[in-house]
Structures are given as C-alpha cells and as structure tokens.
Structure 1
Amino acid sequence: MRHFKKILFFLLFITAHIFGQSIKNDSLQQQKNPRFKYQSLIIPASLITYGVIGLESHQLKFLNSDIKNEINEHIDTRFTIDDISQYTPFLSVYGLNAFGIKGKHNFKDRTIILGTAYLIMGATVNTIKKTSNVERPDGSSKNSFPSGHTATAFMGAEFLYQEYKHISPWYGIMGYTMAAGTGFFRIYNDRHWLTDVAAGAGIGMLSAKIAYWIHPFIKNTLFKDKETMDGAIVPFYNGEQVGLGLSMSF
C-alpha cells in the first residue's frame, strides 16, 4: 500500500512543518513583536495552492484516483471518527479552561476569536464548494473541494496552539496531530481527495490566523461595550449531517 503510506507521511510532514514554522515565527514575534507576519502565510498558502492546482493537474488527479483505488482495494470497513474529531481541537480549549488550565484569552475574547475564525472558514469553504463542482470519491455529491471537516480541524488546531503555546508546545502538537488524523480519515472513508484535504487544511489554518490578527479591531468595534458574554456549543443533526452550532448572547 505505497500510496497509503504516502498519505500518512504527507499529513505527518504537514503537521511537523506547520508546528516547526509556528515556533520559528513566534520567536521572531518575541524579537520584533509584529502583529502581522507574512511568514505565517507560507504554509497555508502552499496547501491551498496545491489543492487548487489539483483541480486542473492531470498528474495530481491521477494521484488522487490512484490513492482512492488502493484504499478501496485494501479497506472494507470505514470509521466515521472524523465526524467527531474535526471538533476536538477547538473543544479542547474550552475543556482545558474548564479544568483550570487557563489559555491566553478569557472566555469572551477566545469565543469572539473562535466565532470569527468559524465564520471566515465556513464562508470560504461553502463558497468554494458551490463553485468548484468537484465530485466526491464515493460519487455521493459534487461538493468535494475543499474538505470542510479538515478545515474545521485545522482551524481548531491553530486556535488550540495560539491559546496554549505559552504553556507548552505539546498542546500544539496534540491539536495538529488530531487535525492531520481528521484529514487522513476523510480520505480513508472515501469522502475526499488528497487535494481536498490539503486545501481544507490551508483554509482552516489561515482562518484562525486571520481571526487572531483582526481580533483587536473586532473587539473594539463590535464588542466595545459588551463586558460579559454567555455562549454554548450546541450539537445538531439535520437527518444527513451531524455538527456543532455556536450560540452566543451579550
């Protein structure tokens, strides 16, 4: 299963490289304290570019098909753990705070950041899905590109890393490992192509980064007079899809 191993290597490489680059960028930030760092765009932009090129590249399309055929040839049982694991990274932030391990921001600020990131990610993914018209590997629909599950997972991984990088780098490693696992199972379960997963990872990361960059503006304009905030994460099921909804009151 040569391509099966390549997928694992590719996703683990992404995880290691993202984390290594994040540490490097944070070191630069401590020295110069810039609010926007163009270096932070390199990895998510590269992943998105890979996915976009895959829409037209015959070589990448062939690789996608080759991976699908190999998985279908050797795998009979599917595991839908990715329907849950996509939410695990960002839910971990609230879980850790609940157990007394305080992150970088209080409940109000981190919820604003998460909500902003989710809106950016969701709007981007759904808009591209409606216009790309890429058929899923299992043939169930034509909204395969990019992977929304993977985008959610990598958005949450970046959120978890940003909130807890001052305590330990292992929180970031844990988050990105879970996100990479989500991407892997989207391919494993015949729901997405490798190019879908790569683009989704890039979009998720970039959405979280943008949310942190613009948070001071969002907070000072939309939430300036809001001293308190209550919120809840509510699960939903519409007969076909399982997900989580974010509800906030001010």
Structure 2
Amino acid sequence: MRSSLLTGFAALVLFLGGFNPAVAQIVPPPAATDTLNKYENPDGVSVPGRTKWYKSKLFRATIIPAALIGYGAWTASGGGFYTDQDARYDVRKQFPNYRTRVDDFLLVVPYLELGAVALAGVESRNDRINTLLIILKGEAIMLGSTFLVKYVTRRERPDGSDRLSFPSGHTAQAFLAASIVHTEFRDKSRWYGVGSYAVAGSVAAFRMINDKHWQSDVVAGAGFGILSAHLAYLSHRNRWGRKPIGRGIGMAPAYFSNGASGLTLTWRAK
C-alpha cells in the first residue's frame, strides 16, 4: 500500500514537472463568418464591387438610341446646326416632285432577310421560338412608345396631312427589324446587319423625300426602333427553355428530272 502511494506520488510529480504553462499553446477561436450578405456571398469571402454604371448592359444598350431620340427632340424644338427647315429645303431641291410608296414595303425587308437567312441554314443567336417572342415583344414596345409620343406631341407633318409626325413610325419599324437581324447574326457575319441597316436608312430617306416627315422625325424614329429591340433582348430570358426549337428546319432549291424546279423543306431532329 505504501509503495503504491509512493509510485502514484512520483508519477504526479513527474507529470507536474513536465508541464510548463509558459510554453502552452493557446488555440485562438475560429474567425466569425461574414453573415451580413450571406445570400449574395454564401462563402463569406469578399467579392469585388458592382460593375460601374457606364459599363452596365442597360447603359450600353440605351446610350445610342437615347442620343438619337434626344437629338431628334432637340432639333424638332428648333435646335441644331442643321434645322428641319434646312433639311427639307435641300431634299425638295433635289427631289422636287418625286413620290413613291417603296418605303411602305422596305420596312419589312429586314424581317424577310431574317427569315431567308434562317431557312438557308444559318444558325441565329436564338432559336425560332425565342426569336419570334423577341420580335413580338419589340413590336409591342415600339408601337406603344411611338404612337404615345405621336399623340402627345401632335406635330404637323411637312405636307400638312395630319399631326402625327414625331417620331417616324416607318423608320422606327425598319430600325427595330434591322437591330434584330444584326443581333441574331452578328456572330456569323457583320454584313447581315450592314444590309438591314442600309435598308432601314433608305426607309428614313424616303419618308423625307415623300415629304411625310421632318429630319428630326426620322432620327428619333431610328432611336425608338433600336431602343425597342435592345429592351426586348434585355428583358428576355429564354422562358421557353434552352433547347433549340426549329433550328433543324431548312429550305433549299430543288430540280426534278422532268425539268421542273421548286423548293424542298427539310427537318433534322435534334
């Protein structure tokens, strides 16, 4: 019994002698996780600040059409170095008695280009269904905005036919279609957009030649058309899904043994 007590006492002395509080390591408590923005930043790791406003998609999508609409409004109110009256005088001098209805048909040519290129097999940015939805959305924005401004401003046309001059609806329609063509096929070739914008510019020119619109009307109309297309794309999130719909449909010329010719419609399942 005595020896066991001595053995236990010796073990306790050795244990206490080997323990040095001066060198004991103190484990710090774990750092608190940043939970102030836990939903935006689940890991609690600091992230860079938001994108500058002038680099945002909304700013880049609206700066050019806003400049066109602003210039048109400024010129319509009598501002600018080249006034509406100056522009009309020069146009009437070059085309004194020229009248045409070609502008009534040219405004849909960019949409015809869109359909023809798609049927030829060139893949657009979006599939057929989503492109159609973007067109419908852009048309609704363009028609609502232009006719609202027309009835608010009540500006008389150069030929005096009515008071629905500002902005030009024909020009807005043409530039809306041209902007959609440019956006859908710009990754394939820039010339699709160049062609469609050239047609839209021709519509604007013919509206002035026909004495239906002032210079400021067509400039603002171009802005409204481009803005409508950009807003349609910004607000679209492919709600019909990510799978391509209708991209397997194509059309090509066909020639038969009896000498007849025609078109063949093909469909590839994907």
- Would the TM-score normalized by the shorter structure come out above 0.5? yes
Structure 2: gaps spanning 5 or more residues: 1-54, 247-270
Instruction: Tell me which of 56, 59, 69 is aligned to 2:89.
Output: 69
Distance 1:95 1:214 in 2: 26
Q: Paired residue for 1:202, among 206, 215, 223?
A: 223
Aligned twin of 1:89: 110
What's the offset of the Cα at 1:58? 5.2
Residue of 147, 150, 161 corresponding to 1:129: 150
The amino acid across from 2:84 in the alignment is N
Structure 2 counterpart SS, 1:140: coil
1:177 aligns with 2:198: yes
Q: CA RMSD for the aligned pairs? A: 2.2
Displacement of 1:35: 7.8
Looking at structure 2, the residues matched to 128 and 47 of structure 1 have their Cα atoms a distance apart, in angstroms, of 15
1:38 corresponds to which letter in structure 2? F
The number of residue pairs the alignment matches comes to 189
- Equivalent of residue 141 in structure 1, options 159, 162, 178: 162
CA distance in 1, matches of 2:234, 2:61: 11
Letter of the 1:120 partner, please give it. Answer: I
Name the one with the larger helix percent.
1
Secondary structure at 1:215 match in 2: coil
Q: Deviations over 1:62-98 (max 9, x none)?
A: 8212222333344222222111111111231112112
Q: Which amino acid aligns with 1:145?
A: F
Does the 8 Å CA contact 2:104/2:170 hold for their aligned counterparts? yes
Listed one character per residue, the Cα deviations across residues 187-236 of structure 1 (whole Å, up to 9, x for unaligned) are: 111110010001000010010011011111xx53xx57xx989xxxxxxx
Give the superposition deviation at 1:169.
0.7
CA contact 1:35–1:213 (8 Å) conserved in 2: no
Give the 3 Å change call, closer, same or farther, for CA 106–43 of structure 1 in structure 2. same
Aligned twin of 1:119:
140
Aligned residue number for residue 236 of structure 1:
none
Give the distance between the partners of 1:93 and 1:180, measured in 2 at CA. Answer: 17
SS in 2 for 1:103: coil
In 2, are the aligned partners of 1:138 and 1:190 still within 8 Å (CA)?
Answer: yes
Partner of 1:31: none
Q: What do residues 93-142 of structure 1 show as CA deviations (whole Å, max 9, x unaligned)?
A: 11211222221111110000000000000000010011111111111000
AA aligned opposite 1:175:
S
Normalised to the residue count of structure 2, the TM-score between the two structures is 0.65
User: 2: CA distance between counterparts of 1:206 and 1:45?
Assistant: 8
